[in-house]
Amino acid sequence: MTAMANPDIARIMRHSVQHARDNTYELVDEVLKVPASNYTDPGRFKLEVDRIFHRLPLMLAPSCELPNPGDFKTMDVAGVPVLLTRGQDGKVRSFINSCTHRGTNVATAPTGNARRFTCPYHGWTFGQNGELLAIASAADFGEVDKSCLSLKALPVAERAGLIFGSVDPDLKLDIDDFLCGYDALLEAFNFKDWHLFSSRVLRGPNWKIAYDGYLDFYHLPVLHKDTLNASGQLGNRAHYHAWGPHQRLVAPDRAARELGSKPEEQWTDDLVLNGVWTIFPCISIASFNGGGRGVMISQLLPGETVGESWTRQIYLMEKKPSAEQEAAAHEQFAFLEVVVRDEDYDTGLRQQRALDHGTLDHVLFGRNEGGAQAFHKWTDRIIAASDDELSSLFPARAEAVA
């Protein structure tokens, strides 16, 4: 299915092209004040980790990172050890990566392919579906019910070529309810058939300081004047379209430049899907073209303290690059490391130090920064919600802002 077959995607792009033609711009109603302590207070940080990262479904990995039966991946999700596996049946499963004997990680490699996981401590063995297959020296160990000693299973679902999972085994929120229909738009990328090209991890400031930067285009021509905007073509405007807490950002001037003069039948997937797609609370997906069509997925996770986060930059490519394309793809990805590390996160780390030691009571988000405004409001709403209230926050099929 092409992107333009999705009526929402066509409508979103038409909206920005029309605004650019009319020289109008959609703004939110008010300037928003966010307490500076939201970025610096350890108590607030603990609430965010507990109520957001240890509760909500998160986009954990692209499906193409575990393409084959037996593939697995271990990860630390804000302090929780997670093991993702793809079974012989092709299904992805998620577990707490903790042996039910004494608790250490049963899998320690970052990724791999395995039919079973043997705990490195005493040799208990678990299958791809989490079941306890064998206890070492079982007769000596004594009688236990193996069927009750499977790895702790976690909610997980694959949607739009992305793996979503929560680290809360008792999550009452359905993953599809959380997605609010947004996955139907992401489906247009067809990520399930893409390839993992490369990935790396960058250290950043408080996860919300880092994430704010993915939610605005306001800073693009200023902070990135010598890099992303070396051509001088980037505007500072964005339109925000929301499905619950998930938002797609479109640059209206770019939409007009690339699409405005073409009949809609000639609007191609790469053109209508560019811009930034965010998945609450911590994912940004942005399109690039060096060495062939690609996206950089930025996956942000809080670090151990309020002033630290870790961003995994995951570069996916629509097709495996040819030998000639590979150097250009590496160059594209290396460029994005420099932009984010030396411009966004360097600025963000300075912002963190200033907020830690400065006198600002609050920071401001303008009427043109509706994306970050919505993000901060959703963060507050989710933190305030009890487990029972959580699913009522997510609209069955949110209306886009168009």
Which residues here bind Fe ion, judged by CB under 5 A?
213, 344
Q: Which is nearer to Fe ion, 23 or 231 (CB)?
A: 231
Q: Which amino acid is at 288?
A: F
Residue 296 contacts residue 333 (beta carbons within 8 Å): yes
Q: How far is CA 196 from the centre of its chain?
A: 15
Closest CA to 78 of 104, 49, 101: 49
- Cβ of residue 228: shortest distance to Fe ion, in angstroms? 7
Closest CA to 329 of 290, 286, 298: 290
Q: Which is nearer to Fe ion, 5 or 230 (CB)?
A: 230
Structure-block tokens of residue 384? 């305030």
- Cβ of residue 190: shortest distance to Fe ion, in angstroms? 27
- Cβ of residue 339: shortest distance to Fe ion, in angstroms? 7
Measured on CA atoms in the order 281, 215, 368, 356, is the torsion positive or negative?
Answer: positive
Q: Which is nearer to Fe ion, 99 or 279 (CB)?
A: 279
- Cβ of residue 321: shortest distance to Fe ion, in angstroms? 25
Rounded CA separation 269/13 (Å):
11
Q: Which is nearer to Fe ion, 213 or 291 (CB)?
A: 213
Q: Report which residue's Cβ sits closest to Fe ion.
A: 344
Tokens 């990328």 — which residue? 189
Structure-block tokens of residue 91? 């299904």
Q: Which is nearer to Fe ion, 223 or 398 (CB)?
A: 223
- Cβ of residue 295: shortest distance to Fe ion, in angstroms? 16
Q: Which is nearer to Fe ion, 233 or 305 (CB)?
A: 233
Q: Which is nearer to Fe ion, 214 or 267 (CB)?
A: 214
- Tell me phi and psi for residue 246, to 5 degrees: -90, 135
Cα dist from 240 to 26, 42, 98, 110, 146, whole Å: 9, 30, 40, 36, 51
Containing H/E element for 185?
helix 182-186
Rounded CA separation 364/44 (Å):
19
Q: How far is CA 25 from the centre of its chain?
A: 27
- Cβ of residue 330: shortest distance to Fe ion, in angstroms? 21
- Cβ of residue 284: shortest distance to Fe ion, in angstroms? 10
